[in-house]
Structure 1
Amino acid sequence: MEVDDSNISFLPILPLPTVHVPATDYDDHREASTPLCIDNGSTHLRFGFCTSETPRTGINMVAKYKERKTNKPLLLFGEGIDIEGGARSQAKTPWEGDVLLNFDALENAMDYAFIHLGIDTPTVDHPILMTERLASPLHSRSLTSELMFEQYSVPSLAFCVDSVMSFYHNNLPSPPVPFHGDGLVVSFNTASTSVVPILDGRGLMSHAKRINWGASQASDYLLKLIQLKYPTFPSRVMPPQCNWMLQTYCEFSPDYTSLLRKLKDPLNLRAAERILQFPYTLPVTEEKTEEELARIAERKKEQGRKLQEIAAKSRQEKLLQKENDLTHLLSVREGREEVSKREWAETLKEEGFANDAAFDATIKKLEADLKKARKKEVDGEEAENEEPPSFPLVDVPDEELDEEGLKEKKKQKLLKAGFEARERVKREKEREREERAAEEKREEEERDRDLTGWAAKLRREQEAIMTRIKERSRRRAALTDRKSAASQARMKSIANLAADDRVPKKRRKAGGEDTFGADDADWAIYRKINTAAASSDEEEDFASLQAIEQKLLAHDPTFTEEHTHAALSSQRSALMAAFRPQYEEGDAQGKARIHLNVERWRVCEAWFSPSMAGVDSAGLGEVLQNVLARFPDQDKGRLVKNVFLTGTPSQLPGLSDRLHATLRPILPPEMPLEIVRAADQTLDAWKGMADFAKTEEFKTVGVTKAEYDEWGGERIKRWWGGNWNSSVPL
């Protein structure tokens, strides 16, 4: 198929990461107790002093690996894992989905962060502000506190919710005015999506909601859709490639249902697709000269000729053997009336037959085989040039012949019968050819006299045949549904066959004769109940349809290939062809392409309908409606006036319009609705942490080392940016 080259995108080839990152100059922060901000994300670890403009970033992944040459154990973090090919399989992250579980990996990540910040003291003498997930389990906080206080002896540790910090940075008040922002924070994370209402600068965590669908699940869902669409794709589609496709080509639709109706048009579906070209290898074909090709063709022709000669010789030998066997069996049958039953039974046993039925069946089969073989000879070239044989002994009386003459006379009778049968078949063939020629002549005269009428008649015949074929296809499809009328009728036919009441039960027990099959129509029941059986009527219809279309293509200028049954059938499946275009067998370049069309919107729609991806969860629209329903109209108006989107997936196009289409119908018409995005969806959470760490309030929200020693890791301080800030006692 032809594809517009301008619509083809090639997968980006990312450069190998570098692991040499110079450490920060620590002298400016030595003994200054500058707060450290650590955004411990599921994908990236962002860390730095609060006085820095931007944080240092690394992939939050650790691998313990032995170098192949020296067998030296290595501890690789972040981008360094990609340097060693075998380290990727042994990599692990501190997070399992959206829960912090692997604390060994977290310790290695903290070592990486502190080393690159240049901290060379035995302990980390800096207050720590670290992010945690919304509704994070208490034991995760406890174990993290234990790691920070026991391993690094930090002076204080505070936890915050990353989305609230991003909101804080984008709504930062002018000092020294306290923070009193209002808004509804919608945070799109790697493994979850959360909704946090904020009133008077305080995150109302008791009203917050989280769904277990994020960028990683969306990327996995896209990978599954691609694998389902291309089960035999020549290359392996990797999760990082799917993540790049998600960020580059996927988007939200304001009305997904209307979009699907629009994409039902194959032209619209092709216009919306994005084509990804994967690497491929062209097959190496050995080019041969014309002399070599001619020599190969001649060798194949000679081999075919030898095979034909061998097959013809084998057929002739088999035919002669069958004629001899038939002659012998006929001579044996002629003596059946002259001997007793006992002698005849012994004769049958000597010939290898169990009874008369087997004997007669063998004779009948031999006669049928010989008749079929003679018919083929008539159609062949040898039969056309066959000279009439002579049978001189046929008319000679038996009394004038000896025993050998009688045998020869029987053989000549058989040969004469075969010759006469061939002559009859030949005359029948000649009569059929004459009738066919006369029919073609009448059709040609009709075509010359009225081409339009002739073409209209053939088109009506074509339409009638296609209608019959369509009805059979529709019936086969209906039979696959056990609740359909056709399927139930089929089951009734099977039940009637199983309980045939045409022969009474008493008569059946007494050996009464079953009349099934006496009428030819009885056998049609098997065609009805066996959906997989080929229909002879359908084969005849296809043959007639092909003949009609060939005539129309040859003589009707208005009838083109697009009007044939094959073209019309392909047009009916044009939507499938646009959904997944088919390439020729030898097209390695086309076979290595992925066409993204419906998937571009379907993956993003799963945020609002996780059930379409097999996840038993409420969608984002339902969660927003549930959260807003907890507030009176006055507070609800304050929330929806600042619907704040943060997180890397919030960069996907169309999200604001999709949320507007979701929220507007559930709000009063006069209530204003404003949806805003974070200035930097990736780094705003860390920047908000850095902004807050510079304030005096930060010193009051952290758990100190002394408090940890007295109360343990379960000690919690409630504050407006943390998980536990409600008035409910713990």
Structure 2
Amino acid sequence: MSVHYLPSQSLLSLDSFETDYRNTHFAAKTPIVIDNGSTDLRYGFATSGAPFSNPNMFSKYKDRRSGKMLGLFGAAAEVDGPSRGAAKSPWEAEVLLNAEALEGCLDYAFLKLGLDDDSVSHPVIMSERFCTPLANRRLMSELLFECYSVPRVVYAVDALLSHAYNCPEPSAPQEGLVISFNTSSTSVIPFLNGRGVFNQAKRLPWGGSQASEYLLKLLNLKYSGFPTKITPQHATWMLHNFFLVSSNYVDTIRQLKVPSSLSAANIIVQFPFTITVYIIGEEKTEEELARIAERRREAGRRLQEQAAKVRSEKMLQREQDLDNLLAIRELRSKDKKSDYAARLKAEGVESDAMLDDIIKKLQTSIKRAKRKEEGQEEEIDAETTFPLVDVPDHKLDEEQLKEKKRQRLMKAAHEARQRAKKEKEREKELKEEFERREEQEREQDFQSWSLKMRRSHQEVMNRIKERKKRRAQIMDRKSAVSQTRMKHIVNLADEVPADKKRKKAGAEDMFGENDDDWLIYRQVSLENASDEEEEDLATLTTIESKLLSHDPSFTTADTYSAITTRRSALMSAFRPKYEEGDTEGIHRVHLNIERWRVPEAWFGPGAAGVDSAGLSELIENILKSFAAEERSRIVKDVFLTGGPAMMPGFTERLQNSLRPILAPDTPFTVRLASDPRIDAWKGMASFARSSSYTDASTSKDEYFEFGGERTKRWWGGNWNAAV
């Protein structure tokens, strides 16, 4: 799988403006040919071999440093942020609207051709869209005749001139079906008896710009967290270099359902990235590493010794405190009550009961610490007494009543711990008994045991699957489960108890008094019980470990994790996952199914959200409007022109689309222009050199007499729209 890198943006170089045109073209008044495309502006003299070509973009903005107004054309309009923000194209989709941008583009074109005078004395042949609105033609005529003083102008439909240039027999009447792929649309024009039948022509509102936008949407959806910005220019570059038209889209998608086929179809586009380099010190020798390890061990030993010393000091302090308290308790019967109470107060003890409790806790703590140092297990059943619990309240004073309450709570907690301990022991015994019986069953009848375990394994997986399915259905507001949930919620909100009417204000919420309320709550709950899910996963792990240990036919490929991974292999093939630290990997775009999905929009625009018939349906509707004899003449030459037609597979796909809608014995040919991008300019240049140019042109005097909407009727123009 090869990796393709985005083309680097080279530094902007200034165009040279040649001056030797005066000797070669000025004296002969060679016509100027301008192909005014919405993507590129191609211009040159009719006798030139190839045109100049620049992006049809003009930017007029004020430079902050010099304070002057600047005008930039073509790629220069993208030089920096201010110029890029002010850049405009003369075209808005299929309509020519921005007169200022158009004038700036034409200024550059004429200067590039050496025409630096106040007027342009050369005739001009200008391309225009099929069925151009009269207002667009009026705008163009006003610029050419009034601003540049052009003597003559011919308006030509680019697709028709491209077809004429590629006609195998120039002397024969041109007939066929011209399919022109433009930036914002695709036109299908039938051609009979040397002229276009415009009243039967169709236009598809899908072109190269829509395809690039569609690809950009798909990539932004697929790579929502992409670390860098994917621009429309990037999408256009990928569209021109890596995309294919499938001869049978359904079969192609079926083949791509296999993860290996999808991975093989991957095209990797590497976006620019920057690797952060961390300077690391010199590598240490083995002796230095050994000394470092020894220092760490020595530090660990010192920490252990310090911890042991602290524990020993704490133990000694607790023993001293215990001896002191025991000595005070021995003086209980010997000292006076006042002296004894003073001793207790000096130690921070309020009563005899509190003294006994402190002594007991210290004895227990010291005993536990000594057993831990000796490595012995802690005693399970420690002697615990609660002497005041069974004593009647009238025999106790106020302090003893408080102590009795505390002992009652301690006794309840102690009994609860004992019950939990016995319950754990009982569960342990039951588990051991269950495992013993299961082992016995496995030894007696292994096949039955294995079948039982596999059935349990499948049941648990089905529960997990149903839980995930239900969660997905609940998240979909149009699903039946989600709608049922909303109905339950509405019913609960509107429910009024039959035995107790609600008041208009301050009504009491009765939800929860009936057990059915909680059943409905479980039905409408968005989240499933996490305890059940964790329990199922734990059960699944236990079953799989037993089957892996005892059943040779059960392998890791049969486990839940392996099955889940296998099912998600297709998703992984769409977009492989890279590790978090892989900077190069996370800056990659994997093109696979998009390579066929985006071009398919020409044949099924509905998949891209365009309410229109596809290219095959348009062709079928056009052919139905002609008689059988005319239809056979048209399909003998199905001609493709325009940049998107260069995608591999377009010719084969149209052949497959035409075969079902034609009679079985009808011969037809689908061919591509020799150079779909500039053949329109070459066709106009060839016509400008012919003797028919003057008859098809509109002079400056005719413009002032009839207006800018007027044009001559000729085979290569929008003559059906002429007045």
- Matched-pair contact (CA < 8 Å) for 1:202–1:720: yes
**Alpha-carbon displacement from aligned partner over 1:426-471 (angstroms, at most 9, x marks no partner):** 2332232233334334444555666655444322211111122223
Supply the AA of the counterpart residue of 1:73: M
1:224-247: CA deviation from partner (whole Å, max 9, x where unpaired): 111111111111001111001101
Residue 472 (1) aligns with residue 467 (2): yes
Structure 1 pair 220/412, CA: closer, same or farther in 2 (3 Å)? closer
Query: 2:244–2:599: 8 Å Cα contact kept in structure 1?
Result: yes
Paired-residue identity, %: 50
2:193 is equivalent to residue 197 of structure 1: no
**1:679-718, aligned counterparts within 5 Å?**
679-718=674-713
Determine the structure 1 residue equivalent to 2:142.
Answer: 146
Read off the aligned partner of 1:696 and give its amino acid letter: S
Q: What displacement does 1:659 show?
A: 1.0
Match of residue 180, structure 2, among 168, 183, 187: 187
Counterparts of 1:400 and 1:501 in 2: how far apart (Å)?
Answer: 57
**Structure 1 residues 84 and 417: CA distance shift in structure 2, 3 A:** closer
Do 1:503 and 1:515's aligned partners in 2 also have CA atoms closer than 8 Å? Answer: no
Q: Which amino acid aligns with 1:679?
A: S
CA 1:608 to 1:512, structure 2 compared with 1: closer, same or farther past 3 Å?
closer
Q: Which residue of 2 aligns with 1:130?
A: 126
How far does residue 512 in structure 1 lie from its aligned partner after superposition?
14
Q: Indicate how the Cα distance of structure 1 residues 464 and 71 shifts in structure 2: closer, same or farther if over 3 A, else same.
A: same
| Helix, strand or coil at the partner of 2:59 | strand
Match among 660, 663, 666 for residue 665 of structure 1: 660
1:220 aligns with 2:235: no
Q: 1:556 to 1:591 in 2, by over 3 A?
A: farther
What stretches of structure 1 of length at least 5 have no aligned partner? Answer: 1-5, 310-376
Residue-by-residue CA offset, 1:339-396 (whole Å, 9 max, x unaligned): xxxxxxxxxxxxxxxxxxxxxxxxxxxxxxxxxxxxxx9xx99975673134445566
1:103 aligned to 2:122? no
3-state SS of 1:645 partner: strand
Q: Render the CA deviation track for 1:204-251: whole Å, top value 9, x for unaligned.
A: 222222222111111111001111111111110011110011011111
Matched, 1:281 2:274: yes
Question: Structure 1 710/571 Cα, relative in aligned 2: closer, same or farther at 3 Å?
Answer: same
Deviates more, 1:551-560 or 1:638-647: 551-560
Structure 2 distance, partners of 1:77, 1:449, is 89
The residue aligned with 1:626 is 621
User: Equivalent of 2:649, from 654, 658, 680?
Assistant: 654
Deviation readout 1:164-187 (Å, 9 max, x if unpaired)? 11111111656xx4x512111101
2:249–2:600 contact (8 Å) kept in structure 1: yes
Partner of 1:58: 54
Q: Which amino acid aligns with 2:434?
A: E
For residue 7 of structure 1, report the CA deviation from its aligned partner: 3.1
Q: Aligned ranges for residues 64-83 of structure 1 at < 5 Å?
A: 64-83=60-79
Find the counterpart in structure 1 of residue 250 from structure 2: 257
Q: 1:155 aligns to what?
A: 151
In the superposition, relative to structure 1, how do residues 397 and 251 fare at CA in structure 2: closer, same or farther (>3 Å)? closer
Name the counterpart of 2:225.
Answer: 232
Q: Secondary structure at the match of 1:29?
A: helix
SS in 2 for 1:63: strand
Residue 584 (structure 2) pairs with residue 589 (structure 1): yes
Shift of the alpha carbon at 1:61?
A: 1.1
* Compared CA separation, residues 424 and 30, structure 1 to 2 (3 A): closer
Q: 1:721 offset after TM fit, Å? A: 0.3
Amino acid of the residue matched to residue 618 of structure 2?
V
User: What is the identity, as a one-letter code, of the residue corresponding to 1:7?
Assistant: S
- Structure 1 residue 609 and structure 2 residue 604: aligned? yes
C-alpha spacing 1:111/1:512, structure 2 compared with 1 (3 Å)? closer
Change (3 A) 1:516 1:85: closer
Check the 8 A contact 1:18/1:79 in 2, yes or no: no
- Residue 253 of structure 1 contacts residue 259 of structure 1 at CA under 8 Å; is this kept in 2? yes
User: 1:519-530 maps to which residues of 2 (within 5 A)?
Assistant: 523-530=518-525
Alpha-carbon distance change, 274 to 715 in structure 1, aligned in 2, over 3 angstroms: same
2:538 alignment partner in structure 1: 543
Is the 1:129–1:158 contact (alpha carbons within 8 Å) kept by the matching residues of 2? yes
Moved more, 588-597 or 676-685: 588-597
Moved more, 392-401 or 146-155: 392-401
- The change in CA–CA distance for 1:618 and 1:459 in structure 2 (over 3 A counts) is same
Number of aligned residues: 641
Verify the 8 A CA contact 2:17 2:111 in the aligned structure 1. no
Aligned to 1:360: none
For residues 440 and 502 of structure 1, the distance between their equivalents in structure 2, rounded to whole angstroms, comes to: 52
In 1, distance between residues paired with 2:252 and 2:82?
44
Taking a change above 3 Å as real, the CA distance of residues 68 and 558 of structure 1, as seen in their structure-2 partners, is: farther
Contact 2:467 2:528 in 1 (8 A): no
CA–CA distance in 2 between the matches of 1:20 and 1:134? 32
238, 250, 264: which one aligns with 1:245: 238
| Aligned match of 1:47 | 43
Whether the aligned pair in 2 keeps the contact of 1:63 and 1:75 (CA below 8 Å) is: yes
Say if 1:415 and 1:79 are closer, same or farther in 2 by CA, change over 3 A: closer
Cα-to-partner distance string for 1:489-508 (whole Å, 9 max, x where unaligned): 65675577678799646899
- Matched residue, 1:87: 83
Counterpart CA distance in 2 for 1:204 and 1:506 is: 78
Question: Counterpart of 1:628 in structure 2: which amino acid?
Answer: L
User: 1:503 touches 1:512 (CA, 8 Å); kept in 2?
Assistant: no
Contact kept, 8 Å, 1:161 with 1:722, in 2: the verdict is yes
> Any conservation in 2 of the 1:283–1:588 contact (CA below 8 Å)?
no
Secondary structure of the residue aligned to 2:640 is strand
TM-score by length of 1: 0.79
Q: Is the 8 A contact 1:503 1:514 kept in 2?
A: no
Residue aligning to 1:339: none
1:699 CA displacement: 1.0
**CA 1:280–1:449: 2 relative to 1, 3 Å:** farther
The one-character-per-residue Cα deviations of 1:387-435 (angstroms, maximum 9, x if unpaired) are 3134445566777755544544454444344333323332332232233
Q: Matched residues in 1 for 2:175 and 2:296: separation? A: 85
Residue type matched to 1:651 in 2? Answer: M
> Does the CA contact (< 8 Å) of 2:17 and 2:113 recur in 1?
no
* Counterpart Cα distance in 2 of 1:218 and 1:657: 20
Deviation at 1:703, TM superposition (A): 0.7
CA distance in structure 2 between the partners assigned to 1:675 and 1:550 by the alignment: 63
Residues 395-474 of structure 1 aligned to structure 2 (within 5 Å): 403-447=398-442, 453-474=448-469
Distance 1:64 1:401, change over 3 A: closer
Moved more, 67-76 or 703-712: 67-76
Going from structure 1 to structure 2, the CA distance change for 1:234 and 1:522 (only over 3 Å counts) comes to: same
Partner-residue secondary structure (3-state), 2:719: coil
Contact kept, 8 Å, 1:223 with 1:239, in 2: the verdict is: yes
Alpha carbons of 1:109 and 1:502: their partners in 2 closer, same or farther (altered >3 Å)?
A: closer
CA distance in 1, matches of 2:146, 2:509: 96
Provide the residue aligned with 2:320 in structure 1: none
Distance 1:498 1:210, change over 3 A: closer
Gaps of 5+ in 2: 312-367
The root-mean-square deviation of aligned C-alpha atoms, in Å, is 3.6
For 1:622, give the aligned amino acid.
Answer: E
Greater alpha carbon shift after TM alignment, 449-458 vs 188-197: 449-458
Q: Displacement, 1:518? A: 7.0
The worse-fitting range, judged by mean Cα deviation, of 216-225 and 417-426 is: 417-426
Paired with 1:500 and 1:123, the residues of 2 have a C-alpha distance of 85
The superposition leaves residues 635-668 of structure 1 with CA deviations (integer Å, 9 ceiling, x where unpaired) of 1111110000001110001111211122211111
Equivalent AA in structure 1 for residue 560 of structure 2 = H
In 2, the alpha carbon distance for the partners of 1:108 and 1:407 equals 98
Give, in whole Å, the separation in 1 of the partners of 2:203 and 2:502: 75
